[in-house]
Amino acid sequence: MKLFKTTFAEFLQFEALKNQTLKEDLSELILNIADSCKGIRKILSQGYLGGDLGAVVDINVQEEDQKKLDVISNSIILEYCAKGSSVKALASEEMEKPVVVAPRSGKYLMLFDPLDGSSNIDINGPVGTIISILPSSSCGDIEQDFLQPGSNQIAAIYVLYGPSTNLVLTLGNGTYEFTLSPVEDEFFLTGSKLEIPADTSEFDINSSNYRFWEKPVRRYIEECLEGKDGARGRDFNMRWVGAMVCDVHRVLSRGGTFMYPMDEKLRTKGGRLRLMYEANPMSFIIEQAGGLASTGYQRILEVQPTNLHQRIPVILGSKNEIELINSYHIDY
């Protein structure tokens, strides 16, 4: 049996010795994030005994239903992370404006999707939390300060609340996976320098939107569906969990592609997923594991944001497949 020895805190201490960007206060913030996710995990584990966590309580800035657990998760993260002198401000899917914590001394900006995959709450399906950490500039306007491309991120984290709880982290030096021990209530290192296979025969898309997709995405999926008799010469498998965190974790675990591409009904909104607290942190994590993340036309991490809550098409996963999908967009 494999013994898991390195705790999350120990990993951060080792990393700090070789990673200049991992200052003590950044480690402290990352540990607070991990603790807040343990709190969310506890509430999730109560399931239907914890009240109607999937009940709609409000509408958020995205004009989407805000569920009870979205609001609770947002409050838990704020409780653990909106303190001290190192975090300048925090922005979330569930808050129209950032919460300012330390406008003068703060070095870090944190963005988060407190609960990803809210539509899975009612069905006891997997959900997650996504976090992006950016450096703060001295720029006076805090909202403006957040509008940095994803390539500026100094850390990205997601936590998957599945049958077990995984925390996946990059500090720009590879992608690492930790698993929560329910006995010790501690995250332990279970995967170092993860590598996504460059080739895959598994795709992941909500195909109910087929009629709205652009031609390059239709072409790619049609060719996958044709299987070994078609242009690709092999059979493909399909998945769709409905929670980006879990779908991306599958890509990270065994390769594959994940897409929420541009489509005709999303065009005026810019896409489905949010750039700054969904697409950017996930793209950073995927690229650090050897995968690629693009809009079809551009590398996601190079997109200059214009709005905290802006949306973007997302096409990510195994390198060779994403390059092929990108080439279909160029042809088009």
Helix axis angle, 24-46 relative to 8-18, nearest 10°? 160
Q: Is there binding between residue 242 and ligand AHG (CB under 6 A)?
A: yes
Backbone angles phi, psi at 14, to 5 degrees: -65, -45
Chain positions 43 to 72 lying near ligand AHG, rule: CB under 6 A, are 64
Q: Which stretch binds ligand AHG (CB under 6 A): 25-33, 79-87, 239-247, 287-295?
A: 239-247
Could you give the CA distance from residue 39 to residue 224 in angstroms, rounded to a whole number? 41
Two structure tokens written together for 14: 């080792």
Indicate which of Mn ion, ligand AHG, none lies near residue 296 (CB less than 5 to 8 Å, by partner kind): none
Q: At closest approach, how far in Å is the CB of 45 from Mn ion?
A: 19
What is the binding site for Mn ion (CB under 5 A)? 93, 113, 115-116
| Position closest to Mn ion via CB | 116
H or E stretch including 238? strand 237-239
Q: Is there binding between residue 217 and ligand AHG (CB under 6 A)?
A: no
Q: Is there binding between residue 105 and ligand AHG (CB under 6 A)?
A: no
The residue among 39 and 242 lying less far from ligand AHG, judged by its C-beta, is: 242
Q: Residue 9 contacts by C-beta under 8 Å, 6 or more apart in sequence?
A: 31
Q: At closest approach, how far in Å is the CB of 184 from Mn ion?
A: 28
Q: Is there binding between residue 203 and ligand AHG (CB under 6 A)?
A: no
With CB under 6 A as the contact rule, the residue among 40, 68, 110, 113 that binds ligand AHG is: 113
With CB under 6 A as the contact rule, the residue among 116, 145, 202, 263 that binds ligand AHG is: 116
Q: Which stretch binds ligand AHG (CB under 6 A): 37-45, 176-184, 238-246, 304-312?
A: 238-246
Binding mask 83-102 for ligand AHG (x = CB under 6 A): ----------x---------
Q: At closest approach, how far in Å is the CB of 260 from ligand AHG?
A: 6
Q: Are 26 and 86 in contact (CB under 8 A)?
A: yes
Chain positions 133 to 152 lying near ligand AHG, rule: CB under 6 A, are none
Q: Are 129 and 159 in contact (CB under 8 A)?
A: yes
Interface with ligand AHG: number of residues (CB under 6 A): 12
Burial of 17 (0-12, 13-18, 19+ CB in 10 A): exposed
Could you give the CA distance from residue 55 to residue 70 in angstroms, rounded to a whole number? 10
Q: Which stretch binds ligand AHG (CB under 6 A): 26-34, 153-161, 242-250, 293-301?
A: 242-250
Q: Which stretch binds ligand AHG (CB under 6 A): 74-82, 109-117, 183-191, 319-327?
A: 109-117
Could you give the CA distance from residue 111 to residue 284 in angstroms, rounded to a whole number? 14
Q: Residue 274 contacts by C-beta under 8 Å, 6 or more apart in sequence?
A: 62, 93, 113, 309, 310, 311, 312
The residue among 116 and 202 lying less far from Mn ion, judged by its C-beta, is: 116
Cα–Cα–Cα angle for 323, 148, 311, rounded to 5 degrees = 60
Indicate which of Mn ion, ligand AHG, none lies near residue 119 (CB less than 5 to 8 Å, by partner kind): ligand AHG
Q: Is there binding between residue 206 and ligand AHG (CB under 6 A)?
A: yes
- Listed in sequence order, the DSSP H helices in 68-184 are 68-81, 142-146
Could you give the CA distance from residue 143 to residue 99 in angstroms, rounded to a whole number? 10
The residue among 177 and 263 lying less far from ligand AHG, judged by its C-beta, is: 263
Give the 3-state secondary structure of residue 290. Answer: coil
Burial of 104 (0-12, 13-18, 19+ CB in 10 A): exposed
Chain positions 249 to 268 lying near ligand AHG, rule: CB under 6 A, are 260
Nearest of 228, 226, 260 to residue 243 by alpha carbon: 260
- Written as one string, the DSSP assignment of 259-275 is EE--BTTTTTTT-SEEI
Q: Is there binding between residue 117 and ligand AHG (CB under 6 A)?
A: yes
Which residues of the chain form contacts with ligand AHG (CB under 6 A)?
A: 64, 93, 113, 116-119, 206, 242-244, 260
